[in-house]
Structure 1
Amino acid sequence: MSDVLGRVLVVDDDEVIRQLIAVNLTLEGFEVETATDGQDCLDRVLDVQPDVVTLDVMMPRLDGWATAARLRSEESTGHIKVVMITARAQDDDKRRSRGIGVDAYLTKPFDPAELIDVVRDLALSSRTG
């Protein structure tokens, strides 16, 4: 087994945030790929085979909720852990995410240490079970 903690697909239309998340996870030992929006995520997810996908909610073409719902609905991607990372902190948004089956919900601005802990826990649970 390699020292890689897991593979993460980071999806955000904001390049600065996408890179911030990717750098933090890479430094922690994850293998990271990025996508610019929900459609890009769906186009690449089978090639990347991530343990965890981090999703922004507000993105062009396909938003995070629609992307998460599509990931959950497909047999080939239904097992992938999903973390929403969004500026939308309303209870309705959190409820909507839970209804879709999102595994974790972090609001921006997020604490990089908390993000790393959440992704590590989800990647580990993905690999063990």
Structure 2
Amino acid sequence: MLVVDDDDVIRQLIAVNLTLEGFQVDTASDGQDCLDRVLDVMPDVITLDVMMPRLDGWMTATRLRNGARTGHIKVVLITARAQEDDKRRGLGIGVDAYLTKPFDPAELIQVVRDLASTARTARSGRNGT
């Protein structure tokens, strides 16, 4: 897991909830930090805030999707932007889930668990196991 949010409190809240559920969690403070770290971490799932300095979640998700080595990573946008246009934009980029703040930690955990399971199944199929 890679948790990306410029708000320290939200980033730690997400990280603690996922850690308590047994996920190995790394964090990044914005989109550029995410892109700088993603190939070292190679997470199954990234939770990604939209409104961040340096590189926002829209551009970060787009770059992840277009990357030869990152296009398969599951991406969950977590944002205060709840308008339908924003959701459509996220789906157009190819994100796997879109949650709005304030979010229900139980819903987040379930979404991440489902996506991580799908990612592991796809990865084992690519490896021939």
TM-score tier after normalising by the smaller chain length: over 0.9
- Structure 1 residue 121, shift from structure 2 partner: 0.2
Structure 2: distance between partners of 1:66 and 1:54: 14
Runs of 4+ in 1 over 2 A off after TM superposition: none
Task: Give the structure 2 partner of residue 69 of structure 1.
Answer: 62
The alignment's TM-score, normalised by the length of structure 2, stands at 0.94
Identity of aligned residues (%): 82
> What is the CA-CA distance between 1:25 and the residue it aligns to?
0.1
User: Structure 1, unaligned stretches of length 5 or more?
Assistant: 1-7
Q: Confirm whether residue 87 of structure 1 aligns to residue 90 of structure 2.
A: no
Q: Which residue does 2:111 correspond to in 1? A: 118
Aligned to 1:3: none
Residue 91 of structure 2 is aligned to residue 101 of structure 1:
no
- Scaled by the length of structure 1, the TM-score of the pair is 0.94
Name the aligned partner's letter for residue 61 of structure 2.
A
Q: Which amino acid aligns with 1:76?
A: R
Q: How far apart are 1:40 and its partner, in Å?
A: 0.1
Query: Which residue of the partner structure matches residue 4 of structure 1?
Result: none
Deviations 1:69-122 (A, max 9, x none): 000001100000000000000000000000000000000000000000000000
Alpha-carbon distance between aligned partners in 2 of 1:128 and 1:59, rounded to the nearest angstrom: 31
Measure the CA separation in 2 of the matches of 1:56 and 1:72. Answer: 16
Give the aligned length: 122
Give CA-to-partner distance per residue, 1:19-38, whole Å, 9 cap, x none: 00000000000000000000
Query: CA RMSD, aligned part only?
Result: 0.3
